Amino acid sequence: AELDTLDIIVLAAILLGTVAYFTKGKLWGVTKDPYASSLANANGAKAGKTRNLIEKMDESGKNCIIFYGSQTGTAEDYASRLAKEGKSRFGLETMVADLEDYDYENLDSVPSGKVVIFVLATYGEGEPTDNAVDFYEFITGDTPTFTEDSDPPLANLNFVAFGLGNNTYEHYNSMVRNVTKALEKLGAHRIGEAGEGDDGAGTMEEDFLAWKDPMWKALQEKMGLEEREAVYEPVFGIVERDGLTKDSPEVYLGEPNKMHLDGSPKGPFNAHNPYIAPISKSYELFSVKDRNCLHMEVDVSGSNLSYQTGDHIAVWPTNPGEEVDRFLDVLGLTGKRNTVISVKALEPTAKVPFPTPTTYDAVVRYHMEICSPVSRQFLATLAAFAPDEETKTEMAKLGGDKDYFHQKVNVHHLNIARVLQTVGKGKKWTNVPFSALIEGVTKLQPRYYSISSSSLEHPKVISITAVVESQHLPGREDPFKGVATNYLLALKEKQNGDPSPTPFGLSYEITGPRNRYDGIHVPVHVRHSNFKLPSDPTKPIILVGPGTGVAPFRGFVRERVKQAQNGETVGKTILFFGCRKRSEDFLYEKEWEEAKKVLGDNFELVVAFSREGAKKVYVQHLLKQRAEEINDLLLKKAYFYVCGDAANMAREVNTVLGQILAEKRGISDSKAEEIVKNMRAANQYQEDVW
């Protein structure tokens, strides 16, 4: 088998037609292991790479660059998919690029025979994703300065744009809208419509699929492209390394980078480099059997990590063993799970998304989002590798028929391995190239949690309040389980010596690669947010946080308690919380009583129980009941905060607040809405919603 794969790689290298492939990629030359990927060098990986996009496209012979602004990986995934499709259907020479890796002054020098595609997610309150901040500021700035002096500056630039947004947010898809507007103002030519995917309506994937066909058509016309029979070309070469075993010191078993592999992780700890933090304490917050909510305290005193009340902590999960086994099994890889492989990009602009050499097991367990919803397009791609004709036909049907796909796959929350099992009726999918899986399955993403501790009280201990995702779905025997929250549940069970209620919980490899997470550790990093208490503690605050939306408010209230204990004057704090029943899921009930003892009348908790009386009561109902007081507090420049469910609650609270202002101030609805808008603009109304 080794010869075959090696042959393919050599062949591919020749096909790519450059000896430079081996000489230019200097990384291959200098690292000890000729197969080690550049990712292994963690932060050093980007050193020495050009930030000049023209130079990059020229040296790699590309005529289509696809930039992504991505926070959770979806935009990046869509960018890769466009790159593949552009290449296989139209022979475009595509490359995918992280917006953060390039400069933009020479966008005006992109020749008109090339095309730039932007795939841009909008984050939070209409903000750019972290990796798109610089680009966004540059392009929407008052006078972006370009290299040449032409007028309009971007007259030669042809671009395509797709946005990922959520209509439940105020600034729906504002990134793609604003960037498109800015580019057009600078004279650039948009090809096709600027697409908009809507996560709020749950139609992101279908919006993307519906957008891209007319876009390709428009691009085809503009660039005179010929459509050809789509051929699959692997992006990555996989070489099995007979000389190495999973115990060889240079083999990555899930370590995120070289420092972790060497056992000496150092800061800065960030989205590329997690801190393996000890969990100092973990316990259950609900008192019912079938629902779980965790309180977990993570000790970051051994690191230089810091946080402020209101920030987010990212948890790096691993996949449950059950699903790892299912995935390896259906692909016929179980026997090879510990085989060491090196993965190499077959073209210079592709990046291997994990460090190698590694094992199949480690890739699937630590780096692939194998439990996530599978895309219809990916099923269509995999049809070509089906074990027999019947399976192939069924896969093609799932890939091509939106309604059929919805009914067979979506409603049951099936992940890729479950689809392959069902469609293949138990046959193994041994023809699927592993490269196709690396390309088609997104990178396993860290999950964010609103920090529920106060940095004033505990600067080095970060707490998480997370509800464990477990859903019973019709037509499915086992419940659907969330990846990260069940991983955290398993950690909590281990720490407390609880018996695991499900085999699922037992199956996580919670001691981590080489047992380095043993003694109950979890990989984390901190993300700073704008969700912050007023700098003046005497300002009143109104907090609306039902369910786990109360997380950051636990931090806020504890901070005010600490301030009061330090002798500071603190303003009124009124917290609207909601849950089902006092006896089941009343989060932190005792802690609020403690806070009340310190803050007295300056702290008030208002609780909506949705399943106690005959009528369901939610936080927005109670807000209405307190209309008078809320209006008064707002007139005293109170800050208003909402956290939790973006789809319904946050939007309704926004509406209710407008109604309160209209009623109490005797103004029109539209005037009231304008006031709420202005409050948002002035940071007097802040949201932390997901």
Question: What are the residues binding ligand FAD (CB under 6 A)?
Answer: 312, 317, 371-373, 413, 415, 447-450, 465-467, 469, 482-485, 548, 551, 690
Identity of the amino acid at 434: F
Return the percent helix, strand and coil in the chain, to nearest 5: 40, 20, 40
CA distance 347 to 92: 14
Question: Is 688 a known active-site residue?
Answer: yes
CB of 159 or CB of 586, closer to ligand FAD: 586
**Paired tokens of 267:** 């800061």
Produce one character per residue of 52-91: b if its CB has 16 or more CB atoms within 10 Å, e if not. Answer: ebbebbeebebbbbbbbbbbbbbbbbbbbbbbbbbbbbbe
Element spanning 163, H or E:
strand 158-165
Query: What are the CA-CA distances from residue 383 to residues 370, 417, 479 (Å)?
Result: 18, 14, 28
Shortest distance, position 209 Cβ to ligand FAD, whole Å: 16
Shortest distance, position 297 Cβ to ligand FAD, whole Å: 14
Question: Is 64 a known active-site residue?
Answer: no
CB of 449 or CB of 603, closer to ligand FAD: 449
Shortest distance, position 251 Cβ to ligand FAD, whole Å: 27
CB of 303 or CB of 548, closer to ligand FAD: 548
**Paired tokens of 435:** 């490269």
**Catalytic, out of 211, 216, 429, 690:** 690
Write the secondary structure of 562-606 as one string of H (helix), E (strand) and C (coil).
HHHHCCCCCCCEEEEEEECCHHHHCCCHHHHHHHHHHHHHHEEEE
CB of 7 or CB of 478, closer to ligand FAD: 478
- Helix residue spans in 255-368 (DSSP H): 258-261, 321-330, 360-362
- Helix residue spans in 243-359 (DSSP H): 258-261, 321-330
Q: Find, among 425, 333, 438, 440, the residue nearest to 386 by Cα.
A: 425
Query: What are the CA-CA distances from residue 367 to residues 519, 561, 610 (Å)?
Result: 23, 41, 39
- For 440, residues 6+ apart whose C-beta sits below 8 A from its C-beta are 375, 378, 381, 382, 416
Phi, psi of 588 (to 5 degrees): 60, 35
Produce one character per residue of 319-353: b if its CB has 16 or more CB atoms within 10 Å, e if not. Answer: bbbbbbbbbbbbbebeebbebbbbbbbbbbbbbbb
CB of 216 or CB of 405, closer to ligand FAD: 405
Shortest distance, position 88 Cβ to ligand FAD, whole Å: 26
Shortest distance, position 579 Cβ to ligand FAD, whole Å: 13
CB of 243 or CB of 475, closer to ligand FAD: 475
- Identify whether 433 is preceded by a cis peptide bond (ω within 30 of 0): no
Torsion angle (degrees, nearest 10) of CA 150, 154, 155, 157 = 140
Q: What is the DSSP letter of 17?
A: T
Q: Do the beta carbons of residue 361 and residue 255 sit within 8 Å?
A: no
Shortest distance, position 468 Cβ to ligand FAD, whole Å: 7
Query: What are the CA-CA distances from residue 529 to residues 23, 85, 548 (Å)?
Result: 43, 36, 17
CB of 35 or CB of 169, closer to ligand FAD: 169
Shortest distance, position 304 Cβ to ligand FAD, whole Å: 23
Q: How far is CA 688 from the centre of its chain?
A: 16
CB of 477 or CB of 601, closer to ligand FAD: 477
CB of 375 or CB of 620, closer to ligand FAD: 375
Q: Do the beta carbons of residue 286 and residue 585 sit within 8 Å?
A: yes
Shortest distance, position 460 Cβ to ligand FAD, whole Å: 19
Shortest distance, position 464 Cβ to ligand FAD, whole Å: 7
**Catalytic, out of 38, 80, 450, 610:** 450
CB nearest ligand FAD: which residue?
A: 482
CA distance 21 to 10: 11
Q: Do the beta carbons of residue 339 and residue 240 sit within 8 Å?
A: yes
CB burial class (10 A; 0-12, 13-18, 19+) of residue 110? buried
Scan for tokens 């996560």, then name that residue: 199
Shortest distance, position 469 Cβ to ligand FAD, whole Å: 4
CA distance 38 to 35: 9
Shortest distance, position 412 Cβ to ligand FAD, whole Å: 8
CB of 317 or CB of 357, closer to ligand FAD: 317
**Paired tokens of 564:** 């009061």
Question: Maximum distance among all alpha carbons in the chain?
Answer: 80
Q: Do the beta carbons of residue 465 and residue 554 sit within 8 Å?
A: yes
CB of 102 or CB of 641, closer to ligand FAD: 641
Shortest distance, position 644 Cβ to ligand FAD, whole Å: 8
CB of 437 or CB of 675, closer to ligand FAD: 437
Q: Do the beta carbons of residue 356 and residue 251 sit within 8 Å?
A: no
Which residues are designated catalytic?
Answer: 450, 643, 688, 690
